[in-house]
Amino acid sequence: MKEQTRADVIIRADFVAWNWWRRCGRGMGLMQGARLIGLDWGTSSLRAYLFGDNGMALAERMAPSGVMHLQRFLPPGKTEAPREQLIEAAFDEICAEWLAEKGRNLQVIACGMVGSTVGWKEAAYLKVPVGTGALAKALTMVKTADGVTVQIVPGICAAGVPGKSFPEILRGEETQIAGIIARLAVPESGASENLLIGLPGTHSKWVQVRDREIVSFSTFVTGELYGLLTRYSVVAKSEKKPELLDAESFHLGLQLGRARTGEAAGGLLSTIFSTRSKRVLSELREEQQPDYLSGLLIGEELASVQRVLARDQRSLSDYSRILLAGDRALCARYQAACRQLSWPAPDFVEGATELGLWSIAWAAGLVN
């Protein structure tokens, strides 16, 4: 692993300046320089960015209009409507004002579940290895009733190798990765770096990037399991979720989750139950259960990432950098876990999706 270099500082300084421009932009008439609308359109929410020259985000909007949550666009009195109609209504709600200002000749790019079979139009998965250029060449076009063209970024898949790996898919994260790759293109970083990128979330992805291309990745259902268990389960449902991380419980869970022998010999199906048994026998208080479980699952995830690398004859030391992107608070939790598990310290990359949308649009010639 390389030492923390000046590049890290640049990544952050760059972002601070960028955010400053964005905030200033609104009051300075920069809306006139709008070049591109970028949509991060997932299952439960829709986030839109208005980009100016050089990918500067001039404005940002968010709506609870994920592709699985479009009921509020149903015509009055109706219980169903064609999916395209609902999607276009959600699109108009968030973009119409921006499009009107520019006379509708603004380019639009979108990533995420909007390109799935339950989205606007299917944007087929590309097989690894995939870089920003390949994504840009495989955009799927849809046209709204009003004649606006929207380009959808494809997902990525990796075929399974019998006895070695099962098939993997991602959608939306390819854009985050494109953003991270773009953000790292500073003099200090060689183009042929090996990167290990963690994208914690409902389905956490751990992505290996070589020569600026995604070469392989693995998924862990950590966030989804945490949500299901704390919301619905007998074993770990908790009404009391503390605002602040309970570091002690988190650490306790982490140590059990990372292990596979001794107390952890029974594996995850067994260790999850300790959330309940320790609570019943007063070794854990109710408000400690969520962070204990979080530590348990994140510990299992990180240890499993190392086992997947080992299966592929690799190890953490093969990567010049480890990076995290996504929700800031969740990434901070992963950074704490990495520290406790003696991993090389991962850097947090902010704004990866928006930069990725711009980069792919730029590579596709939608902007220049």
Q: Site for a second copy (CB under 8 A): which residue of 79, 261, 313, 342?
A: 261
Judged by beta carbon, residue 231 or residue 241, the one nearer a second copy is 231
Residue in 63, 235, 245, 341 binding a second copy, rule: CB under 8 A: 235
**Which CB, 125 or 358, lies closer to a second copy?**
125
CA 276, CA 87: separation in Å to the nearest integer? Answer: 43
Stretch near a second copy under the rule CB under 8 A, chosen from 6-14, 134-142, 212-220, 324-332: 212-220
Task: Looking at residues 46 to 85 of the shown chain, list those that interact with a second copy (rule: CB under 8 A).
Answer: none
Size of the site for a second copy (CB under 8 A): 57
Q: Does 305 bind a second copy (CB under 8 A)?
A: yes
- Kindly tell me which residue out of 53, 84, 97, 224 binds a second copy, with binding defined by CB under 8 A: 224
Residue choice 145, 191, 244, 280 for contact with a second copy (CB under 8 A): 280
> Stretches 191-199, 303-311, 331-339, 360-368: which one binds a second copy (CB under 8 A)?
303-311
Q: Tell which one of 65, 189, 274, 340 touches a second copy (CB under 8 A).
A: 274
- Lookup result for tokens 């870089």: 131
**Which one of the spans 79-87, 182-190, 275-283, 354-362 is the region binding a second copy (CB under 8 A)?**
275-283
State in angstroms the smallest separation of the CB of 33 from a second copy. 39
- At its nearest, how many Å lie between a second copy and the CB of residue 159? 8
Q: Nearer Cβ to a second copy, position 135 or 157?
A: 157
Structural contact between residues 158 and 127, judged by C-beta atoms closer than 8 angstroms: yes
Looking only at residues 152 through 211 of this chain, which bind a second copy when binding is defined by CB under 8 A?
157, 160, 162-169, 202-203
Q: Which residues bind a second copy (CB under 8 A)?
A: 43, 125, 157, 160, 162-169, 202-203, 218-222, 224-225, 228-229, 232-235, 256, 261-263, 265-274, 276-278, 280-281, 283, 297, 300-301, 303-305, 307-308, 310-311
